[in-house]
Amino acid sequence: MLFLHAAEQGLIYGLMALGVYLSFRVLAFPDLSVDGTFPLGAAVAGMLVLRGFSPYLALLGALGAGLVAGAFTGVLATRLRIPGLLAGVLTMIMLYSLNLRIMGRPNLSLLGRPSALLGLARALAAPRGYEILVAAGLFAAFVFVLLLLFLHTELGGTLRAVGQNPEMVRALGTNPENLVVLGVALSNGFVALSGALASQYSGFADVGMGIGTIVAGLASVMVGEILLRPRGIFSHLVAVLLGSVVYRLAISLALRYGAALGFTASDLRLLTALVVLGALAAPALRTALRGGEA
Amino acid sequence: MLELLGITKTFALGAERVVALEDVTLALGEGEVATVIGSNGAGKTTLLNVIAGTCRPDRGRVRLAGRDITRWPVHRRAPLIGRVYQDPLRGTAAQMTVLENLALASRKGGRGLGPLVGRRKRQILGAAVAQLGMGLEKRLNERVAHLSGGERQALTVLMATLTRPKLLLLDEHTAALDPANAERVLKITEDLVREYRITTLMVTHRMDQALAVGERLVMMHKGRVILDLGATEKGRLRVEDLVALFRRAGVSDDALLLVQNGACA
């Protein structure tokens, strides 16, 4: 059960991790707006479902809201020349208020309401008990394939070049700023979609559910990189999804057995941040250690 | 092809005003290859920046292929202009493959949702990179980060000329390479420029290069063009003559040795 639930969550949150991969790794743009767009997706999809719209339409609504919010961050960072980190923080804070307005209260219960995830699971001829896993896998596969194909198009290839050498892209006749806006929009679209699915999975949307999204996303990206050492785009995307599953599994194990060591659920974010800190600091620490030995 | 009319550019350096370009007027005919030489701070790189659009002149006009491009942003004039910098890292995307880099350079401007590299492009671009004679056609799927400085710069030159731009700007593009690779990259550059008759402006700090390459020689000093020689006069000139000309212009021997760094990014 623990493994199954971790895999389900890993795939659902994997969409978010793919979004973070797109902004952080492909565009080299550390985008904090995801902490706001994850609950934004949940809020928009939740309200649409509560108003009687189809849960699939609700997912599209969440995707659209995420795209708009991401484009907003992109425009702040490029046209208005606000440093990327600050642009993301501003969007995130604005979304906190906006999410409360959308929901009208701090949380929504979606229990017993139509859910795209459960609906798809029921419609599938999957082995008993694995329906949700397969449904979550389908959503993850959809975004995975979309992103994989996109990054191999002319436009997507140019987007990759923006993260490595924006000046070159400019010299090749494309304004890199437009691509930053596009990339950050797409990234947040995926994150919002992930938030909507997560709310349908757990049966509630909460204004605080986005706190630490960026750190969890980064942890997934880095865990995947450590495990698979990916080289191409395909293996990178696989690594992100794998990293997301392993990360959720680690969280589940920590919750299950951490209590014996004195950890509580409230320590999770601290632990996650430490994992990311370790991964980020590893190259510097390695150099320092080697320097110390020599 | 290229016309510069009365280009003036001043920078504020603290409280001081530094004149980087002063009333520079220069015209290059179609297919003409000119070398630009000058001491540290002569304004060579600023001149290229003004042409490429990364730097807007205070006064003067830039005309290219019959169009006034003075106020065009960089990405708009990019289809007309290829540029290669001194640093081989500046012209390519390191984590993308040789083929992907070529494919990006093979189409300037509009980017669609078609595949970045298809079988047809692989063939065409593979044949193009084969003419470099470096065996890169066998390494199309390797990331550019794995290439040596010489290979990377040769690839950059090829990328800059791939769409047959109206103008090629070379900013000391062999200065960071070892002598053997510098020779090779220069040879590749000359071959490509001749084959496609691309109007070229090549900044160099090596006098022998300035004399050996092209049919025009432009000497700059303190933001002005102090000498502009055509093919016949240039053919008679030797390095010693060039040094003498520099001395007469008041350039110190130390300044002659300096490799310059341009302002205006």
Mean pLDDT score, B69-97: 93
Instruction: Supply φ then ψ for residue B160, to 5 degrees.
Output: -70, -25
Question: Could you give the ipTM of this predicted complex?
Answer: 0.89
Widest Cα–Cα separation across chain B: 58
Helix, strand, or coil (residue A19): helix
What distance in Å separates the CA atoms of residue B109 and residue A79, rounded to the nearest whole number?
20
Determine the residue among B84, B85, B87, B95 to mutate to test chain A binding: the one whose Cβ has the most chain A Cβ atoms within 10 Å.
B95
Mean pLDDT score, B41-58: 91
* Interchain contact, B111 vs A158, CB within 8 Å: yes
Binning pLDDT at 50, 70 and 90, where does residue B9 land? very high
pLDDT given at position A198: 97
Residue A82 has which token pair? 């606000």
| Closest of B44, B15, B12, B63 to residue B201, by C-alpha | B44
Residues from chain B contacting residue A150 (CB–CB below 8 Å): 113
Residues paired with residue B225 on neighbouring β-strands, in sequence order: B220
Q: How many residues does chain A have?
A: 294
Mean pLDDT score, B27-46: 89
| Minimum Cα–Cα distance from A26: chain B residue | B95
Q: Is the pLDDT of residue B259 over 70?
A: no
What distance in Å separates the CA atoms of residue B210 and residue B201, rounded to the nearest whole number?
11
Residues from chain B contacting residue A152 (CB–CB below 8 Å): 115-117
pLDDT given at position A294: 44
Helix, strand, or coil (residue A50): helix
Q: Is the pLDDT of residue B260 over 50?
A: no
Of A130-139, B65-74, B255-264, which range is least confident?
A: B255-264
Mean of pLDDT over chain B: 88
What distance in Å separates the CA atoms of residue A57 and residue A45, rounded to the nearest whole number?
8
| Closest of A29, A2, A79 to residue A187, by C-alpha | A29
Residues from chain A contacting residue B103 (CB–CB below 8 Å): 154, 157
Of B74, B94, B103, the CB nearest to A157: B103
Q: Is the pLDDT of residue B199 over 80?
A: yes
| Minimum Cα–Cα distance from B97: chain A residue | A232
Q: Is the pLDDT of residue B144 over 70?
A: yes
Beta strand B224-229 with B216-221: parallel, antiparallel or unpaired?
Answer: antiparallel
Residues paired with residue B34 on neighbouring β-strands, in sequence order: B201, B216
Binning pLDDT at 50, 70 and 90, where does residue B218 land? very high
| Minimum Cα–Cα distance from B88: chain A residue | A168
Widest Cα–Cα separation across chain A: 68
Cβ-based neighbour number of residue B254 at 10 Å: 9
pLDDT given at position B263: 44
Of A155, A170, A172, the CB nearest to B112: A155
Cβ-based neighbour number of residue A102 at 10 Å: 19
pLDDT given at position A265: 79
Residues paired with residue B170 on neighbouring β-strands, in sequence order: B84, B202
pLDDT given at position A208: 95
Interface of A with B in 259-288 (CB under 8 A): none
What distance in Å separates the CA atoms of residue B187 and residue A155, rounded to the nearest whole number?
33
Q: Is the pLDDT of residue B206 over 60?
A: yes
B205 DSSP assignment: S
What distance in Å separates the CA atoms of residue B16 and residue B29, rounded to the nearest whole number?
37
What distance in Å separates the CA atoms of residue B258 and residue A87, rounded to the nearest whole number?
42
Q: In the β-sheet with B216-221, what is the strand arrangement from edge to edge?
A: B81-84, B167-171, B199-203, B33-38, B216-221, B224-229
pLDDT given at position B261: 38
* Interchain contact, B104 vs A172, CB within 8 Å: yes
Helices of type H across chain A? 2-20, 34-50, 55-78, 84-103, 116-123, 131-151, 154-164, 166-171, 176-202, 213-228, 233-257, 268-293
Sequence-distant (6+) residues with CB within 8 A of B35 are: B202, B203, B204, B209, B210, B211, B213, B214, B216, B217, B218
* Interchain contact, B96 vs A160, CB within 8 Å: yes
Low-confidence residues of chain A: pLDDT under 50: 294
pLDDT given at position B200: 96
| B109 part of contact set with chain A, CB < 8 Å | yes
What distance in Å separates the CA atoms of residue B36 and residue B210, rounded to the nearest whole number?
7
Within 13 Å of residue B107, how many CA atoms lie on the same side as its CB? 18
Q: Is the pLDDT of residue B253 over 90?
A: no
Check if the beta carbon of residue A228 is closer than 8 Å to that of residue A238: yes
pLDDT given at position A177: 95
What distance in Å separates the CA atoms of residue A172 and residue A37, rounded to the nearest whole number?
33
End-to-end CA distance of chain A: 49
What distance in Å separates the CA atoms of residue A60 and residue A38, rounded to the nearest whole number?
14
Dihedral of alpha carbons A26, A31, A35, A36, sign? negative
Helix, strand, or coil (residue B70): coil
Secondary structure (DSSP) of A174-243: --HHHHHHHHHHHHHHHHHHHHHHHHHHHTEEETTTTTTHHHHHHHHHHHHHHHH---SHHHHHHHHHHH
Chain A closest-CA separation from residue B177 CA (Å):
20
Check if the beta carbon of residue A110 is closer than 8 Å to that of residue A47: no
